[in-house]
Amino acid sequence: METLELLGAALGLATLAGINLYLTVFISGLAIQQGWITLHPQYEQLAVLGDPVIVGVAGTLFVIEFFADKVPWVDSLWDSVHTFIRPVGGAMLAVTALGVSHPVYSVVVGLLAGGMALAAHGAKAGTRLLANASPEPFSNIGLSLAEDATVLGGLALIYTHPIVALVLAVIGVCLTVWLAPRIFGAARAMLWFAWRRVSLPTGDANAAAVPELPPDLEIALHRARGEDAALQWAAPCVSGRGEHLRGNIFGWLLLTGGATGGLDFARNAGSRPLLQSIPLDGWKAMHRRGMVCDRVVVYRLADGKKQTFQFDRSRRELASELVRRLNARAAASVVRDTVVSAA
């Protein structure tokens, strides 16, 4: 049981270090230095954290992080710098908590601790990137305070119930690994939109010009829609959540005319493009402008279903042109159905 409790303390500290390394070290050291807690014999090796130099350095760095962590995009820059610092710090805390042990055991626990710290750091950094898509700063402040509260609560739990802390840390890491594709897919999209916003002016793309498609994409469209389907509009975009596509897939949105034409989202599936048809009968479209990216929402009033597509701000005029064309097609379809019904 004592070994399991020691392992819980080591890996728990590493996980909290992945969220906020400096707060973890500062509060732990301050509590030891001021006598707020009395270390059990198996944790005596952690007494080094109470050294005034360690407490002072960790406290100073925490103050800097406290303010940097609450400013949009500054927090993401800070996280990127700490991608290597937090996992290494977490592994060092875990090995320190173990004290003198078999070298093989220390290495294995160090690797586990570094991985858990990296998972916690990745979840934090990815969540912050998503929060930075919002124009207001309150979500960043709220997330930062919640993270600090998690670290404080986690430290208290490690001291009182280290085995429970270990179970919760493992569950949290497993949940992070399961959500990682979604988190990092969304983070990748936000980074791409942010880069496009900085490097290109808003509305720079020519809405009147139909871009030349890559050969493999043009072949796939021709096979899917036939010779009568003429390309009217095309633009690279990123899928959002919706009825037909999962979110944050990079691809092309294609609008074709003619009897066999329609709306398709094309993406790479291995070595070949894959087209997903988006139905247009009874659907309308709306253009929503944003700080990081613009969104086109294709929706149907009858059942509330919708599909979202995200465009970087340089293609704002292209997004507006797509909405105009889709709504014109929807209006023409209503008129046609009315004429047929009257006949």
Distance CA 312, CA 197 (A): 7
pLDDT of 338 above 60: no
Structure tokens at 256: 């074709």
Distance CA 241, CA 296 (A): 11
pLDDT of 129 above 70: yes
**Section 291-312 average pLDDT:** 88
For strand 306-312 and strand 263-269, is the pairing parallel, antiparallel, or unpaired?
unpaired
Residue whose pair of structure tokens reads 């586990």 in the numeric block: 112
- Cβ(120)–Cβ(18) under 8 Å? yes
Share above pLDDT 90 across residues of the chain, in percent, rounded to a whole number: 30
- Cβ(16)–Cβ(154) under 8 Å? yes
pLDDT of 101 above 80: no
- Cβ(315)–Cβ(244) under 8 Å? no
Q: 301: pLDDT confidence band, cut at 50, 70 and 90?
A: confident
- The amino acid at residue 167 is V
Q: What is the pLDDT of residue 334?
A: 60
123 pairs with which residues across the strands?
Answer: none
**Between 115 and 42, the higher pLDDT residue:** 115
Buried b (16+ CB within 10 A) or exposed e, 194-214: bebbeeeeebebebeeeeebe
**Between 207 and 218, the higher pLDDT residue:** 218
Distance CA 51, CA 7 (A): 23
Distance CA 306, CA 278 (A): 10
CA distances from 133 to 126, 191, 248, 318 (A): 12, 10, 14, 21
Distance CA 326, CA 17 (A): 50
Q: 188: pLDDT confidence band, cut at 50, 70 and 90?
A: confident
- Cβ(240)–Cβ(310) under 8 Å? yes
**Section 15-44 average pLDDT:** 87
**What are the backbone dihedrals phi and psi of residue 232, each rounded to the nearest 5 degrees, phi first?**
-105, -30
Q: List, for residues 211-255, the tens digit of each pLDDT value.
A: 778 888 888 888 888 877 888 899 999 998 888 888 888 999 999
What is the gyration radius of the CA atoms in the chain, in angstroms? 27
Name all domains of the chain by residue range, CATH numbers in brackets.
Answer: 2-199 (no CATH), 215-342 (2.30.29)
- Cβ(172)–Cβ(157) under 8 Å? no
pLDDT of 342 above 80: no
Q: Which has the closest alpha carbon to 169: 93, 77, 62, 81?
A: 93
**Section 47-59 average pLDDT:** 91
**Section 120-146 average pLDDT:** 81
The rounded mean pLDDT for the chain is 85
Q: What is the pLDDT of residue 223?
A: 86
pLDDT of 322 above 80: yes
Q: What is the pLDDT of residue 109?
A: 85
**Between 270 and 105, the higher pLDDT residue:** 105
Sequence-ordered list of residues with C-beta below 8 angstroms from that of 170, at least 6 positions apart, any chain: 11
Q: 136: pLDDT confidence band, cut at 50, 70 and 90?
A: low
Q: 329: pLDDT confidence band, cut at 50, 70 and 90?
A: confident
Q: Which has the closest alpha carbon to 12: 170, 136, 137, 134?
A: 170
**Section 148-174 average pLDDT:** 90
